[in-house]
Structure 1
Amino acid sequence: MNEASATKQKNIDEKFCKDCGEIINEKAEICPKCGVRQLPAPGSLSSVAPNGKSKLVAALLAFFLGGFGIHKFYLGRIGWGIVYLLFFWTFIPAIIAFIEFILYLVMSDEEFNRKYGGA
């Protein structure tokens, strides 16, 4: 059996390209061989939108500081953030933010990127 037909072995800090199967660095965003962007696994909370906004960060901000609208400011919804700040004393924004926390966690990456991924 020659070397070309041997199975590829990757190290701990490496992964396989999702398109061509080449072994690349674990943190590589683009495969150096085929040039295809390496997207995170579907449903992972660590995915990041094209503008750098993270679904996990938005969910955590909604959970811990949502009553003040901090997650709205983070996602670029400044007007809604101000509304949350004006009415935080009623605890209504906190209840809505808890619901949004759950929605962010179950939202698909594509939907999150469509709603909040604009540059």
Structure 2
Amino acid sequence: MSSFAMKSENEKFCTECAAVIRKAAEICPKCGVRQFGAPGGLGAVAPNGKSRLAAALLAIFLGGFGAHRFYLGQTGLGVVYLLFFWTFIPTVVAFIDFIVLITMTDDAFAAKYGSAT
């Protein structure tokens, strides 16, 4: 089985099994799970279950401690944030991460953070 599934512009990934399905599909034909989330909304979920909304909220509220980096599977960066949180530099960087996360498209989020870990 290939680790990367290619999809066209009118397709999306199933929120449960990550199969490529039609963008307008309400139910995945492979696993039968109902697809939720408005296209372009922050509630979209990557194939590995990571939520862009959760990552953005962690970045804005606990980003100085690197919580969003731990959530997204970037443990090394999370530790760096923890080591330097007292300088408030990670807080500024986390605010920038928040802006990036809320402006990122669902496809870009899934491509960058959506791999199964």
TM over 0.5: yes
The match for 1:42 is: 39
Moved over 3 A (4+): 37-41
Task: Report the aligned-residue RMSD.
Answer: 2.5
The match for 1:25 is: none
Report how many aligned residue pairs link the two structures.
Answer: 93
1:83 Cα offset (Å):
0.2
The match for 1:63 is: 60
SS in 2 for 1:73: helix
1:38 Cα offset (Å):
4.4
The match for 1:18 is: 24
- Paired-residue identity, %: 61
Query: Which one-letter code corresponds to 1:107 in the other structure?
Result: M
Structure 1: distance between partners of 2:41 and 2:27: 16
Does 1:74 find its partner at 2:50?
no
Give 1:30's match in structure 2, choosing from 28, 36, 40: 28
Query: Which one-letter code corresponds to 1:30 in the other structure?
Result: C
Does 1:99 find its partner at 2:96?
yes
Q: Can you give the 5+ residue segments of structure 1 that lack an aligned partner in the other structure?
A: 1-16, 20-27
Deviations 1:40-59 (A, max 9, x none): 43211110000000000000
Structure 1: distance between partners of 2:69 and 2:75: 6
Larger radius of gyration: 1
Structure 2: distance between partners of 1:58 and 1:29: 26
Structure 2: distance between partners of 1:29 and 1:115: 25
